[in-house]
Amino acid sequence: MKPTIRDVAKMANVSISTVSRVMNSPESVVESKKQRVLGAIEELKYKPNALARGLISKKTHTLGVVIPDIRNAYYAEIIRGMEDASKKLGYSLIICNTDADRNRLFSYLNTFYEKQVDGLLYTSDAVFPDYYKELKRLRMPVVLVSTHSMEYELPSVKIDDEQAAYDATAFLIEAGHRSIGMISFDLSDSIAGQTRYQGYVRALREHNLEFSKDNVFFIQEYYHDPYVAAESLLRQAPNLTAVFASSDVLAMGLLSYLYEKGIQVPDEISVIGFDNIRVSSLTIPKLTTVAQPMYQIGYRAVEKLDARIGGEADPQLRELVPHEIIVRGSTRRLK
Amino acid sequence: MKPTIRDVAKMANVSISTVSRVMNSPESVVESKKQRVLGAIEELKYKPNALARGLISKKTHTLGVVIPDIRNAYYAEIIRGMEDASKKLGYSLIICNTDADRNRLFSYLNTFYEKQVDGLLYTSDAVFPDYYKELKRLRMPVVLVSTHSMEYELPSVKIDDEQAAYDATAFLIEAGHRSIGMISFDLSDSIAGQTRYQGYVRALREHNLEFSKDNVFFIQEYYHDPYVAAESLLRQAPNLTAVFASSDVLAMGLLSYLYEKGIQVPDEISVIGFDNIRVSSLTIPKLTTVAQPMYQIGYRAVEKLDARIGGEADPQLRELVPHEIIVRGSTRRLK
């Protein structure tokens, strides 16, 4: 059985709070007691990292980052922003890839705890009740990045996904399109799935356009094939004149599929993506897209976390940063 | 001035080797001496992490990864391979982005040292003499990933870049091309620059084709614009029938540029890339490329590092993994 702080206190013949002080502010404990406590901690092999935490400076100047899928180009710019802000504020960044897997996430959270990171940048995934419980248990300052939580009082930095999807769809409507499809993430994805889908539906409704379930294809799996997603949408909705894809990589799959089928973009179908990743200006044709300020999101998240670590008041818990439509060559105005 | 182990020994009135034993195998030191040493360590604030290292288990089951540019899609698959092997072998991975900057690299190496990682995966960059000295100083087991060193006895996993570039060029020659350009990384890049350029030159020479300096454009800056690189090459060599690009992202810039100029791929110019990143099958046309087994490189590097950490003999210090040409739609055979 793992030794507890109680066992240490008993063996050292001191109070629990003295053990705690030895670990957290050893300079406040008289030498003799301190040595007894350290001796007991060692003999019992009690939570050695809690010990280490007491012996070294409380700050490690390191921030932990969890991201769900490092293969996704979306994170590259976010990490760059985090890096630059960390450099400015004197932090090192350690990045872990959770593969959107609960066990991996928990394992990394505990690694971060053991490594004594000063704070956590939690990226993209939703915060489920057991995640929140774990974050609470580890008592680690956290900022949510490109995600947020309405249930819990956690600080976050992201764009307004619903509004951004609304704007993408409205952009197509205002260009004269009436038959507009969407490739959407699954509705179980409360951050990039549900919100963007709702923005799309609201834009249609507010412009008095009919909504048809056939015009939307939902990605089911986390690791999906963008080409196959495009094929699926066009099979169920062959008469679209425009498509809103929930990510630039999905839009690239669509461009690739349409090219193979000999369907001209934007002459026959307009395509708008989402994110504005690095290669979205190298597609054929160049991709019109909803730009997220990824760099700024990462940068701002580190500043926000730093303020939190420093105990500063946070005037805005859930921060929204502005998105922007970048018009390139993959969309056109219908006559 | 930073306290040394000598200062600790003096204050505790023990030998230096006793201080060392307290830090590394405290169970071998009698309690009274140990407490004196711990007291002195604390009073002097001597290298607290070395202390922590002694108090906790020697293995942290964590590996550090340094990569030069996390924005580069090339690393995504490598990290996936590292992740999966780490999972299998019971490691966590902490990833740091050096921005190809010496100071950041050194700062992260020291962070890894302080965090007591079991070993280091050093990715892509060349190993300069001062880097090697620092690695030596930190006495951290290391495996080089997608890079190697001929000067130093460091284990590595990569493809044969020279041969891979040779094969890409020979593929174009065997398809009937005679006027073959190249977009190359700078020759100061000993891993992906010099080697691939040499492979290209050797293929031309062995096939009795004339080499012209005008047919090669060298990327000068680390953060370059792939579109501009393509434009520069075609300006200095307008009559090419095929181009070998040193990365898929460079090839995408070329496809984009040729499309804008109304030059048909592969009818007028064939394009072959290098890497086989995720989106290279979504380009227009789909990209022919030299595939690196990125996942395998990452996976194998972790296995190799694990063996090293475990003190196992390494039958092959510098491991080469096979590359492969993936023929898609961006190249054609000349009549």
Over residues B11-52, the pLDDT tens digits come to: 888 888 888 777 766 667 888 888 888 888 878 877 545 334
CB-based contact (8 Å) between A211 and chain B? Answer: no
**Tens digit of pLDDT for each residue in A198-227?**
999 999 999 999 999 999 999 987 678 999
Smallest Cβ distance to B253: which of A71, A107, A282? A282
State the Cα–Cα distance between residues A38 and A131, nearest whole angstrom: 33
Please report the pLDDT score of residue A153 as a whole number: 93
Output the six-digit token pair for A318. 């859930």
A263 in a structural domain: yes
What's the domain range around B15? 5-54
**Tens digit of pLDDT for each residue in B87-97?**
899 898 888 88
Q: What's the average model confidence in pLDDT over A274-292?
A: 95
* Lowest pLDDT segment from A140-149, A228-237, A310-319: A310-319
The upper half-sphere exposure of residue A169, i.e. CA atoms within 13 Å in the direction of its Cβ, equals 31
The radius of gyration of chain A's CA atoms, rounded to the nearest angstrom, is: 25
Please report the pLDDT score of residue A24 as a whole number: 64
Q: What's the average model confidence in pLDDT over B136-152?
A: 93
User: What average pLDDT does chain A have?
Assistant: 90
Contacts of A59 (CB under 8 A, 6+ apart): A118, A309
**Closest residue on chain B to A226 (Cα):** B282
Output the six-digit token pair for B69. 């540019």
Q: What's the average model confidence in pLDDT over A272-301?
A: 96
Q: Within 10 Å of residue A316's Cβ, how many Cβ atoms?
A: 10
Contacts of A235 (CB under 8 A, 6+ apart): none
- Pair (B194, B282) in one structural domain: yes
State the Cα–Cα distance between residues B35 and B26, nearest whole angstrom: 10
State the Cα–Cα distance between residues B55 and B59, nearest whole angstrom: 11
A329 in a structural domain: no
- Pair (A137, A248) in one structural domain: no
CB-based contact (8 Å) between B283 and chain A? Answer: yes
State the Cα–Cα distance between residues B162 and A68, nearest whole angstrom: 35
Cβ of A92 within 8 Å of Cβ of B96? The answer is yes
CB-based contact (8 Å) between A254 and chain B? Answer: no
Contacts of A75 in chain B (CB under 8 A): 70
Smallest Cβ distance to A70: which of B31, B79, B108? B79
Task: Identify the DSSP state of A150.
Answer: S
- Pair (B302, B282) in one structural domain: no
Predicted confidence band of residue A9 (pLDDT cuts 50, 70, 90): confident
- Pair (B151, B184) in one structural domain: no
B315 in a structural domain: yes
User: Which of B231, B279, B287, B328 is most worth mutating to test chain A (most A CB atoms within 10 A of its CB)?
Assistant: B279
Residue whose pair of structure tokens reads 């195998």 in the numeric block: B25
- Pair (A227, A116) in one structural domain: no
Contacts of B282 (CB under 8 A, 6+ apart): A226, A227, A249, A252, A253, A255, A256
CB-based contact (8 Å) between A87 and chain B? Answer: yes
Nearest-5° angle of CA B262, CA B265, CA B270? 130
Indicate whether B80 pLDDT > 70.
Answer: yes
Output the six-digit token pair for B207. 């096939």
State yes or no: cis peptide before B285, omega within 30 of 0: yes
- Pair (A42, A67) in one structural domain: no
Please tell me whether residue B154 adopts helix, strand or coil conformation. Answer: coil
The radius of gyration of chain B's CA atoms, rounded to the nearest angstrom, is: 25
CB-based contact (8 Å) between B333 and chain A? Answer: no
Cβ of B55 within 8 Å of Cβ of A42? The answer is yes
Please report the pLDDT score of residue B162 as a whole number: 97
State the Cα–Cα distance between residues A191 and A193, nearest whole angstrom: 6
Contacts of A11 in chain B (CB under 8 A): none
As beta bridge partners, residue A123 has A145
- Pair (A168, A270) in one structural domain: yes
Cα dihedral sign for A101, A104, A109, A115?
Answer: negative
A36 in a structural domain: yes
Indicate whether B57 pLDDT > 60.
Answer: no
As beta bridge partners, residue A271 has A243
- Pair (B262, B242) in one structural domain: yes
B135 in a structural domain: yes
Please report the pLDDT score of residue B25 as a whole number: 63
- Pair (A104, A141) in one structural domain: yes
CATH code for position B20: 1.10.260.40
Please report the pLDDT score of residue A203 as a whole number: 98
Give the CA distances from residue A325 to residues A248, B96, B141, B169, B217, in Å, rounded to whole numbers and listed in that order.
13, 32, 48, 41, 34
Chain B closest CA to A3's CA: distance in Å?
Answer: 15
Give the CA distances from residue B189 to residues B28, B79, B156, B232, B273, in Å, rounded to whole numbers and listed in that order.
50, 22, 17, 20, 18
Residue B125: phi and psi, rounded to 5, are -70, 155
CB-based contact (8 Å) between B97 and chain A? Answer: yes
Smallest Cβ distance to B79: which of A48, A97, A256? A97
CB-based contact (8 Å) between A111 and chain B? Answer: yes
pTM of the predicted model as reported, rounded to 2 decimal places: 0.79
- Pair (B80, B14) in one structural domain: no
For the packed helices A31-44 and A16-24, what is the interaxial angle rounded to 10 degrees? 90
Give the CA distances from residue A285 to residues A176, A275, A329, in Å, rounded to whole numbers and listed in that order.
20, 17, 5
| First CA to last CA distance, chain A | 75
CA dihedral A242, A248, A252, A258 (to 10 degrees): -10
Contacts of B74 in chain A (CB under 8 A): none
- Pair (A206, A273) in one structural domain: yes
State the Cα–Cα distance between residues B168 and B161, nearest whole angstrom: 11
| Selection from A175-179, B13-17, B128-132 with the highest mean pLDDT | A175-179
Cβ of B252 within 8 Å of Cβ of A279? The answer is yes
Residue B271: phi and psi, rounded to 5, are -130, 130
Please report the pLDDT score of residue B192 as a whole number: 93
Residue whose pair of structure tokens reads 């956290």 in the numeric block: A142
Predicted confidence band of residue B224 (pLDDT cuts 50, 70, 90): confident
Task: Identify the DSSP state of B275.
Answer: E
- Pair (A135, A26) in one structural domain: no
Number of domains in chain A: 3
Indicate whether A14 pLDDT > 80.
Answer: yes
State the Cα–Cα distance between residues B192 and B222, nearest whole angstrom: 12
Output the six-digit token pair for A181. 């499809």
Please say whether the beta carbons of B317 and B155 come within 8 A. Answer: yes
**Inter-chain Cβ pairs, chain A and chain B, closer than 8 A:** 150
A86 in a structural domain: yes
**Tens digit of pLDDT for each residue in B256-288?**
999 999 999 999 999 999 999 988 999 999 999
Cβ of B286 within 8 Å of Cβ of A256? The answer is yes
State the Cα–Cα distance between residues A57 and A59, nearest whole angstrom: 5
As beta bridge partners, residue A321 has A159
State the Cα–Cα distance between residues B92 and A94, nearest whole angstrom: 11
Please report the pLDDT score of residue B262 as a whole number: 96
CATH code for position B137: 3.40.50.2300
Cβ of B252 within 8 Å of Cβ of A282? The answer is yes
User: Which of B101, B282, B284 is most worth mutating to test chain A (most A CB atoms within 10 A of its CB)?
Assistant: B282
Please report the pLDDT score of residue B50 as a whole number: 38
**Tens digit of pLDDT for each residue in A46-81?**
754 534 444 444 688 889 999 988 877 788 889 989
**Closest residue on chain A to B226 (Cα):** A282
B334 in a structural domain: no
Nearest-5° angle of CA B40, CA B41, CA B43? 60
Left (φ > 0), alpha (ψ -120 to 50) or beta: where does B116 sit? left
Please report the pLDDT score of residue B40 as a whole number: 86
Task: Identify the DSSP state of B266.
Answer: T
Residue whose pair of structure tokens reads 């680690």 in the numeric block: A140
Residue whose pair of structure tokens reads 């056939």 in the numeric block: A214
Indicate whether A10 pLDDT > 50.
Answer: yes
Output the six-digit token pair for A267. 């002459």
Output the six-digit token pair for B126. 């060349």
More confident residue, B45 or A109: A109
Please report the pLDDT score of residue A318 as a whole number: 97
Indicate whether A180 pLDDT > 80.
Answer: yes
More confident residue, A28 or A265: A265
Chain A closest CA to B207's CA: distance in Å?
Answer: 33
Indicate whether A240 pLDDT > 90.
Answer: yes
Please say whether the beta carbons of A331 and A175 come within 8 A. Answer: yes
Please say whether the beta carbons of A50 and A23 come within 8 A. Answer: yes
**Tens digit of pLDDT for each residue in A122-176?**
998 889 999 999 999 988 999 999 999 999 999 999 999 999 999 999 999 999 9
H-run or E-run covering A109? helix A102-114
Contacts of A269 (CB under 8 A, 6+ apart): A240, A241, A242, A243, A258, A263
More confident residue, B298 or B100: B298
H-run or E-run covering A31? helix A31-44
A37 in a structural domain: yes
Nearest-5° angle of CA B49, CA B50, CA B55? 90
